[in-house]
Amino acid sequence: MKVWQQPLPPIYNKLSDAELRVRIQLAREALGEKLVILGHHYQQDAVIEFADFTGDSFELSRKAAEQKNAQYVVFCGVHFMAESADILTDERVRVILPDLGAGCSMADMANLDQTIDCWSQLEETCPDQLIVPITYMNSSAAIKSFVGEHRGAVCTSSNCRNVLEWALKGGAAAEGSGFRLQVSAGSSFNLNPEPRTLNPPKVKVLFFPDQHLGRNTAHAMGYPLDSMVVWDPREEFGGNDPQKLRDAHFVLWKGHCSVHQLFRPEHVDQVRQKYPNMKVMVHPECRFEVVEKADLAGSTAYIVKQVEAAPPGAEWAIGTEVHLINRLARQHPEQKIIVLSDCQCLCTTMFRIDLPHLCWALENLVEGKVVNEIKVDEHTRKWALVALDRMLAIKGTGNPIGKQQPVATTVD
């Protein structure tokens, strides 16, 4: 059941930022070690100021799980991140999202009903193939759980290539439990506990929900664009010809990030014309044509590391969320750092987490009242954890899109 954000008591919107800061600080002190505040890289500075840890969604959830005295995790991010934190932390830890309206447009582009429908259509169309579902971290707990239950795994933008390599070898269906893949007499594969000779079926990866991360990564692995199809959940067979669907190695869910999709190839051209020495670095949620033109691409953690390692005088045009870019520019005045375009590349849903909501959530906790708790049900949690654990067990050295050389010495 969807729960909406209740209006804040009017006082919180009347307080000045200075007053809110004082009250937030007092609430933090009152809660002490029981409280951990997490701030995603894309969060606004006024909120980040109060974060005990900053990072990307997965880093933050793991950090929360390491805090043994924490009873409350206040996640200044978006809904799917708070779900991941609830999945990864102990049962006793209560996870709070200060504004329930802070969702993620990308995660919302794939729901469980659509996924079940897609799965049955793929099984019907490709009965002799092994379909391995992989979901990006930026998806709901329900999708992560579906993937876990269907022998797939989660991936992040840092390890996407390793996870796809694992999936193309058959994913969890091809490993562990003494099971082996077997092609059955009826030409559909099944799992058989008695090992026998087998002809491995063709493997197809179903990738949720970001088509761009899937496409950029698969292409960097050497797969041509025509080995991928896009699955539109509103159309039969995802809008594909059944034969094309059978031939494809990758079925990419028709989802995208509304922030990263704003960057276009002409933005790269414009930067190159104006600043010939500038390196262009983008997130792999950007569309393929942008990543192709960029010098480097990688996760938010990768982008942060490249800037930190670069020498004075380095020049960057970065294609990711504006709060992170502006923060990097302030932290590194010895470098020139600009946003790749002047589009409003702001995560508007994350921006809903502000000082009034943070203050309201914390002051309720001080009074012993948990507001906006994010709780994942037991079944969903169990299988989502399986999908996350599989990701953690996958080894490899591949980078997401093949453009991740260290750049500290390459600045002209």
Task: By CB under 6 A, tell whether 78 contacts ligand SF4.
Answer: yes
Q: Which of these ranges, 12-20, 26-34, 251-259, 334-342, lies near ligand SF4 under the rule CB under 6 A?
A: 251-259
Name which position in 56, 86, 321, 363 contacts ligand SF4 (CB under 6 A).
321
d(CA 27, CA 34): 11
Write the CB contacts of 342 (distance below 8 Å, at least 6 apart in sequence).
none
Least distance CB 384 / ligand SF4 (angstroms): 18
Name which position in 259, 262, 325, 374 contacts ligand SF4 (CB under 6 A).
259
Instruction: Compose the 329-348 pattern: x for residues touching ligand SF4 by CB under 6 A, - for all others.
Output: ------------------x-
Length reported for the chain: 412
- DSSP label of 205: E
204 versus 260: smaller Cβ distance to ligand SF4? 260
Least distance CB 315 / ligand SF4 (angstroms): 24
Q: The tokens 């949620």 sit on which residue?
A: 285
Farthest CA pair distance, the chain: 72
204 versus 267: smaller Cβ distance to ligand SF4? 267
38 versus 407: smaller Cβ distance to ligand SF4? 38
Task: By CB under 6 A, tell whether 257 contacts ligand SF4.
Answer: yes
Task: By CB under 6 A, tell whether 73 contacts ligand SF4.
Answer: no
Name which position in 121, 188, 258, 364 contacts ligand SF4 (CB under 6 A).
258
- Are 205 and 250 within 8 A, CB to CB? yes
d(CA 121, CA 206): 12
> Dihedrals φ, ψ of 130, to 5°?
-100, 120
Least distance CB 27 / ligand SF4 (angstroms): 26
d(CA 81, CA 103): 9
Name which position in 43, 67, 135, 138 contacts ligand SF4 (CB under 6 A).
138
- Are 104 and 163 within 8 A, CB to CB? no
Residues linked to residue 339 through DSSP beta bridges, in sequence order: 318
Instruction: Compose the 95-114 pattern: x for residues touching ligand SF4 by CB under 6 A, - for all others.
Output: ---------xxx--------
d(CA 282, CA 290): 8
Count the residues of the shown chain that bind ligand SF4, applying the rule CB under 6 A: 13
- Are 17 and 44 within 8 A, CB to CB? no
Contacts with ligand SF4, residue ranges (CB under 6 A):
42, 78, 104-106, 138, 257-259, 321, 347, 349-350
